Amino acid sequence: MVGQDGLVANAAKYLNGQPVIGIDPEPGTNPGVLVRHTPGAAAKLLQDAAPAGPERLRCQELATVTAWLDDGQELSGLNEVFIGHASHQSARYQLTAPDGRTERQSSSGLIISTGTGATGWCASIAIERGGRALPAPTDPRLAWFVREAWPSPITGTSLTEGMLEAGETLRITVASDQLVVFGDGMEDDRLTASWGQEITVQLGERPLRLV
């Protein structure tokens, strides 16, 4: 793939084990976290990726995050998944943590991030909270944060952050007319969950194999 880091992130959700070569067309302009190679290296990398020689490619398996609705729809992200109100008003829901604790909440949404995303949106939240240990891109776990939880007689603020290990889930039962779910900042590519629907989030089953 030739372009910015976001191109790789947005394509990752459609892949299933294929190695990805990220080519940075403007070295020094892009961060180069996901587009790690120069145009000059492209020919050799593509040769190594041919059917006769893919074993010569050195790949990192970067964790992904997947959210799905109880009607079977699902969405994945390489950086993070956001769950909240479409217009960023208060989102109301019941959150169930991996250890079974539950809490009704009203907040500006939830961020569930991989280690790749831990350098972006998730990092700013962690810094605001005094610094939190976040996963590395290849770690098989996720970090989750509730944004601006609001205390009231019927909503709490005790379950606002944590980690999701492999096999663990975070469950959100919608208590608003609608909440949206989108990945990697792509708001137009989203799922919509109605009142009473359950959203389940966990480590993705298809990591991105990045050369």
Please state, in angstroms and rounded to a whole number, the distance separating the CA atoms of residues 191 and 183: 10
pTM of the model: 0.86
Burial (Cβ within 10 Å: 0-12, 13-18, ≥19) of residue 192: middle
The per-residue pLDDT for 50 is 63
The per-residue pLDDT for 26 is 76
Give the tens place of pLDDT for each residue, 11-66.
Answer: 777 777 777 877 777 777 766 677 777 777 777 777 766 654 545 667 788 899 99
Could you give the domains of the chain?
Answer: 5-61 (no CATH), 63-210 (2.60.200.30)
Q: Which residues of the chain have pLDDT under 70?
A: 1, 3, 30-32, 48-57
The per-residue pLDDT for 55 is 56
The per-residue pLDDT for 174 is 98
Please state, in angstroms and rounded to a whole number, the distance separating the CA atoms of residues 45 and 40: 10
CA angle (104 as vertex; 101, 108 as ends), nearest 5: 115
